[in-house]
Amino acid sequence: MIDNSDFPNTKLDISRSDLHADCENCFGLCCVALPFATSVDFAIDKVACKPCSNLQSDFRCSIHNSLRQEGFKGCTVFDCFGAGQKVSQTTFKGIDWRENTQIAQKMFDVFPTMHQLHEMIWYLTEALNLKEASTIHRKLSTALHETERLSQISSDDLLKLDVPSHRAVVNALLLNTSELVRSKVISQHIGSKKRKTLDRRGADLMGAKLRGANFRGANLRGAYLIGADLRDADFSMADLIGADLRDTDLRGANLIGSIFLTQVQVNAAKGDEQTKLPHFLSRPTHWTVSEKRYKNKEVF
């Protein structure tokens, strides 16, 4: 549990660049530890702890440049938040899982836990960069230090870690952050119908036609936006944590100023050169293809 009274005096050296997958320093953990089933995202079935048939001996993917064409769209969406290299190089000190079957199983079991910890580090790092949350920066900093500390403990201790309890404490702080960021918009609509529309937490908006919608300051936590038409929509100051953006059309949408948006969500969506993204997120390469088709008025 996080003790908010125990404020750390040391400053963490955490960069967002450390919270993205660095496959060169990972032993292909996402290609081995995680399972997937035949679907629109994966062309084959794969059980947990078994190497993907496309994984080569150097831990590179044999079809990396054609994953989408080969039916592995899910691979192009996934990002481990840097957990892969942390487990490979820090927790197991660069030991290749192929060298020892006992180490291999432990490494595969630790990876999902580290993934969750690094995801929390990502969100807490973002929250600490939001001036609207300055009143709780002390608590956020304490939570960040504690989460980073937990990511550094031994593999045995990681396997015993009560992640849900820690996540609950972190989530409470992230909710507080969200309220602080969105408070200005919410206060402008007290007692109005508009205020109700700002609360879309967990909403089912799959396939909805909402082109040009105003989601400024909206709570879209865990909302289902799969396949929705959100072209030219405004998401500034909107909370997008956990929102499902698979195949969501975000061409021309403004996502600058939104909070808790991740690269995974962006990768899963459709966009173009007019989509405005936060500076710390990258424009997916497949968006460029979509833009070309859009200009040619093709259906995709």
Give the 3-state DSSP-derived string for 228-280, with helices as H, strands as E and coil as C. CECCCCECCCCECCCCECCCCECCCCECCCCECCCHHHHHHCECCCCCECCCC
- Cβ–Cβ < 8 Å for 277, 250: no
Q: What is the pLDDT of residue 295?
A: 47
- As averages over each run of 10 residues, the pLDDT of the chain (300 residues) reads 45 71 94 95 95 94 94 93 97 93 94 98 97 97 98 97 98 97 79 67 96 96 98 97 97 97 96 95 80 40
Q: What is the pLDDT of residue 169?
A: 97
Integer-rounded Cα Rg, in Å, for the chain is 20
Which tokens sit at 77? 């969406």
Q: What is the pLDDT of residue 198?
A: 84
Sign of CA dihedral 288, 220, 141, 119: negative
Phi, psi of 224 (to 5 degrees): -95, 105
Q: What is the pLDDT of residue 292?
A: 47
Q: What is the pLDDT of residue 288?
A: 63
Give the fold, CATH level 3, of 192-300: Pectate Lyase C-like (2.160.20)
Q: What is the pLDDT of residue 45?
A: 96
Residue bearing tokens 């400024």: 216
Q: What is the pLDDT of residue 13?
A: 58
Q: Where in the chain is the domain with CATH 2.160.20.80?
A: 192-300
At 15 the three-state DSSP class reads: coil
Residues 6+ apart with CB under 8 A from 115: 80, 81, 83
Q: What is the pLDDT of residue 192?
A: 56
Q: What is the pLDDT of residue 87?
A: 98
